[in-house]
Structure 1
């Protein structure tokens, strides 16, 4: 058995340990019993943000706003990427209008802003929307 991976449930946000060799098979949350992988971005708030980005899997966060045209155009690209990148990478979204404290904490100056976190640390940041192939390339470049 391999070293367990620590990750937060996308539903109840509780931390879970999953053996690394069972990552591809997925798993269920020990608390709420729902799947640990939904192939959809997780909506994060100030209360749930740290639980997700501090886990062992890389997390790509899309900081966006409901009134932002480029954010709306990029949303389907981000959704499709979740289907392709999970379970090796988790994707999450933060509405900067509803979660202004998170926008301030990470000095978000333009939206969409994409950030990649590994074990709680920011490892990459990019402002602006990308086409699907470029977005996937950018993510893979920073998680390997």
Structure 2
């Protein structure tokens, strides 16, 4: 794959996980995936397994905000609607994703997730911020924006 130019970004499709090149000035113009033709940004989070997590972590040139959660966790279920509302507000500048630590325990162990829900923000393949505990949509948006600076 060729390197992107200064005005293009690699964006991983939330549907088929193919890496797309998108001009930075077109991020807000509802770009579609070149492979599956689905929207690259739908204003909602994407559920990731171990393989798709790696692809989004390593290939996306926008930050990745991950909600590490579990289906049995009451605060996780309580935060879920707020996380989706935050996705609608933060895309296309961030990709929001959910990792079920019950279904993919290796990722929870790899990132030393000790309590859920835990939000972790990644940029350039590295974790840059972390916050444990349930938050509402406005707090998620504020926290994410503050950690992007």
Q: TM-score interval w.r.t. the shorter chain? A: over 0.9
User: Separation in 2 of the partners of 1:132 and 1:8?
Assistant: 24
Matched residue, 2:116:
111
* Uncovered stretches (5+) of structure 2, i.e. residues with no partner: none
Alignment RMSD: 1.2
Structure 1 position 135, deviation (Å): 1.6
User: For 1:71, what is the secondary structure of its paired residue?
Assistant: helix
Structure with more of its chain in helix, by fraction: 2
TM-score, length-scaled by structure 1? 0.96
Superposition deviation, residue 59 in structure 1: 1.1
Supply the distance in 2 between the matched residues of 1:77 and 1:39 (Cα, whole angstroms): 12
> Which residue of 2 is the match for residue 79 of structure 1?
84
1:104-144: CA deviations, max 9, x gaps? 11111110010001121100001101122222111000112
Gaps of 5+ in 1: none
Supply the distance in 1 between the matched residues of 2:147 and 2:72 (Cα, whole angstroms): 29
Distance in 2 separating the partners of 1:122 and 1:2: 23
Alignment of 1:57-96 (within 5 A): 57-96=62-101
- 2:132 pairs with 122, 127, 136, which one? 127
Alpha carbons 1:2, 1:21 under 8 Å: kept: no
CA distance in 1 between counterparts of 2:6 and 2:30 reads 15
How many residue pairs end up in the alignment?
A: 144
Range 127-136 or range 58-67, more displaced: 127-136
1:9 corresponds to: 13
Report the TM-score when normalising by structure 2.
0.93
